[in-house]
Structure 1
């Protein structure tokens, strides 16, 4: 099916389109880590201005802010509270606290900001899908250049942008280059516009979901092929698992009330029970193969997880330590709390931080799941939640949130859609709760 290019009718749509299409240009100056957070907060300010009437060029936003947006706002505010409490408990100082709050605004806070902007502003999902696929085409065209650089053994890092002096997590976020050398496999891994290779796979997962939402077959194919290519050449173990699960999980979860997913689940469950021992052996072999693919990396990650969990449990269970800490030589001096979202939250922000992410993420999953049964854009939102969930076990979502911004916008856009109740359930609600015209009005807002 071929469709025309989505029209850019509002200022925010033009901003989003050119911000995505211009990604590689921003990468050349090392500006992605600074520009995308600024973009998010500017979109949020525009949304606030529309709501209070400062900008009335397109009328007022929806009357009620969706509950899902409230959930993320409260959750990410809880992150800031835990951050401040951790700094106070361990007396880390005012300067460190202010620096950490600035990092929060470019990390956890940015997630809530983009979701809020998506829910408040006039942005069509198709604009995000198409801009993401244009970026995917650019990425496909650049891939041979990066790959040849790796094969020829040229320097993987070409230069470091002077924007690094404005502050940031480290110079790797401002490096411009083609690939990274992997000592464990004695080969190279493409990094694209991400700070490291698995982060490129994370961005590709977001692009994959956006590509699947495009109605144009040609652009959809380009987006999917590009995303799979990035995942393959980044050599991320997690992406090898996530890509097939995302591509099959979205259609299955989006049709859980239809017969075929239930039948497929019944067949798989029965088969698994009949061959339980073989299935167990297969899973064990896959786990060992996954760990053995990069044994040194798996060892370091496991040690960091044990250290983070033990120190959270024994030293700071409520609000955490307030900041990551440099590890010992046993973990190659990697920071404790940096390589796993959930263990990192426990170590840095304690149980408060853990729940501040778990609760809104769970809310969003069930909201997207319910809406995806009737809303095709909600299927993209559901895919984004799956991407965040999968990558939370291998990456630190806080530090990579700036790469997920197109997906976060989609989640916010879908949150303002009403939950469409299937006719059978509408009839049920009409009879049981005396709800009139339930199928016509499409249910209630979540």
Structure 2
């Protein structure tokens, strides 16, 4: 049994080995400033290798919606730059940015439709969590003894990027508003680490070695706390609660227990609303300046989108006024950023595949481990889209995108299997008789392979 548990998370194929290596060596690549380069190179390389071997067969309609949606993002880049006469140079630069940003979302989701197994990613992120568990006390000690937080900027910064923070190596950072230390580990800023580790917790949950699983998850949760992100502290508990309810939504006792709660909620609705308003005020008041700047950025982005570039956007972010501390208009919010930079067309290019994925996973995702993780990841990304530009961090949270692709893959197989059973086109086979039989996934029902049975197989064989 121990050997079986150990083997379950070992990579077998070349793409599994590459992906597991990239995850487990994240801190090493961070020290040389290579993560910003590694993510895009890894994604495109694995996609090309997978396409050469298997083509793009087996992609579901939902997967194609991601591919088409991200290609539409590239079209908006070209059209918006032409509309605003930004020039050939900025157009090429923005197209390269698309290839290592929005395009990666579709690239890694398509990779998830290949032969990558959730067990391999779970094992890899757990080992990363264990490394984090040992590193965080050392990084805290560096802050406690007064060591400098910023160490250096990698020479790889010459390849470009939105700023030096993508290539800088730090032991810790200081929040300028509160003066407290924050740890971003290998992310460009602290809240981004909360996003990454929240997604990784949902992947690590399926590691079969109990000690490794809980050690890894503990390291990830400590990283979420060390990031000091308000949304990080709120998002993961909410998503876990929603997942628990979602997995049991076909159980009658769930509705039996919740009926009294809804009744009590209706009786005390006014008091509950007051509590929610107080919590919201405290949440925004924890960092009032940050909340004020983000709200102002959103208002400016929406106003300029409506009045200046409704359909195709402005083509790129712009430096904001002093009111928003000169932060870029179109930043700190995925949806406002899409409206400002890529217009309504760009927003729909993301909203359509997201909603399609949510619908598919809602009804077909519960039957597989990858589907359960994918649903949680989609919810986490949805929450973080209200405070981060998701495309700018895709090079870091790409394991979550691969898991999302695996969840959509297994949901599509489950749907096809259910369709075959309904139509009666796949008659059942008595496994106790010799002959060719279909070996199916125990949960999804999808046919994995065929085997020849030469002798009697007990029907209760595990």
TM-score (norm 1): 0.91
2:38 pairs with 1:35: yes
Alignment match, 1:95: 89
Q: 1:87 to 1:443 in 2, by over 3 A?
A: farther
Correspondence list, 1:25-424, <5 A? 25-52=28-55, 63-120=57-114, 122-417=115-410, 418-420=412-414
User: Which runs of no fewer than 5 residues in structure 1 stay unpaired?
Assistant: 53-60
The number of aligned residues is 430
Q: Hey, what's the Cα distance between the residues in 2 that align with 1:398 and 1:260? A: 41
C-alpha offsets along residues 138-190 of structure 1, whole Å, 9 cap, x if unaligned? 01110011112222332211111000011111100001111111121121111
Alignment match, 2:22: 19
Q: 1:267 to 1:190 in 2, by over 3 A?
A: farther
Residues 238 and 391 in structure 1, CA contact (< 8 A), matched pair in contact too: yes
Q: 1:292 to 1:438 in 2, by over 3 A?
A: farther
Q: Hey, what's the Cα distance between the residues in 2 that align with 1:100 and 1:181? A: 31
Residues 255 and 373 in structure 1, CA contact (< 8 A), matched pair in contact too: no
Q: Hey, what's the Cα distance between the residues in 2 that align with 1:361 and 1:270? A: 33
| 1:416 shift after superposition | 2.3
Q: Hey, what's the Cα distance between the residues in 2 that align with 1:277 and 1:271? A: 11
| 1:421 shift after superposition | 6.7
Alignment match, 1:8: 11
Q: Hey, what's the Cα distance between the residues in 2 that align with 1:202 and 1:154? A: 27
Q: Who wins on radius of gyration, i.e. which is larger? A: 2
Q: 1:261 to 1:404 in 2, by over 3 A?
A: farther
User: Which runs of no fewer than 5 residues in structure 2 stay unpaired?
Assistant: 430-439, 448-462
Q: Name whichever of 21-30 and 5-14 sits farther off.
A: 5-14
C-alpha offsets along residues 261-283 of structure 1, whole Å, 9 cap, x if unaligned? 43454343222211101101110
C-alpha offsets along residues 275-329 of structure 1, whole Å, 9 cap, x if unaligned? 1011011100110011000000000000000000000011111010000000011
| 1:258 shift after superposition | 1.8
Instruction: Determine helix, strand or coil for the equivalent of 2:205.
Output: helix
Q: Hey, what's the Cα distance between the residues in 1 that align with 2:228 and 2:397? A: 19
Residues 254 and 369 in structure 1, CA contact (< 8 A), matched pair in contact too: no
TM-score (norm 2): 0.88
CA RMSD across the alignment: 2.3
Q: 1:369 to 1:27 in 2, by over 3 A?
A: same
